Amino acid sequence: MENVRLIVGLGNPGAKYARTRHNVGFQLVERLAERWRASWTVEKKFQSAVARVERNGLVIFLCRPQTFMNASGEAVGPLAAYYRVPLSQVMVAVDDADLPMGEIRLRERGSSGGHHGLESIEQHVGTRDFARLRIGIGRTADGRREITDFVLAPFSATETVLVDRVLAAAVLQVECWLDAGIGKAMSQFNGVVKDSG
């Protein structure tokens, strides 16, 4: 359906993961729901928490898969199919360890970049042709490739201030995507988030 959009934030369910680096996707859709006064319901058949809102003539579904990150496609695939959301109208928000903290990058399509949540979605929908909003979380200071402990750790107090600013910009980027299309959203917001203070 032309007027339907699906915005998925990736993360891991459960209180112990709530404020970790890996869950910035969850944090983004939670902010959108709060801003748009949408309430969450758990949709067991989609293994997801879902919020529905009508905004500027669009029906928008927000989704937090409850499958754990590496199986996100098991939630997103059936949800998109059920609500008949064309994949060109799906956006997935994810953490990106290859992007420095303080940067956001929206792309119309692309590779998973080794992100298991994106890989799972690509496998279940059969294409890479959906928008992905990457939120930079940086890497450990030593730059090692094995970063499981790092991504599953909470942000430091200093990082939390920066992440707050980044998520505020990402909210505006999502709204720009909804209102003016992906081209404008990319050109206006991709890159280092400016300090609005």
Write out the E strands in the chain: 4-9, 40-43, 48-55, 58-65, 90-96, 103-107, 131-136, 191-192
- The CA-atom distances, in angstroms, between 45 and each of 16, 48, 50, 70, 75 are 24, 8, 11, 18, 9
Q: Is 22 a catalytic residue?
A: yes
82 domain-assigned:
yes
- Residue 197 included in any domain: no
Boundaries of domain holding 17 = 4-192
Among residues 22, 115, 116, 124, the one annotated as catalytic is 22
pLDDT tens string 126-165: 999 999 999 998 876 555 555 566 777 788 888 888 899 9
In a domain, 111, yes or no: yes
Instruction: Please report whether residue 95 resides in a domain.
Output: yes
Number of independent structural domains in the chain: 1
- Residue 18 in domain: yes
The per-residue pLDDT for range 51-89, each reduced to its tens digit, is 999 999 999 999 999 999 999 999 999 999 999 999 999
At 117, which CATH number? 3.40.50.1470
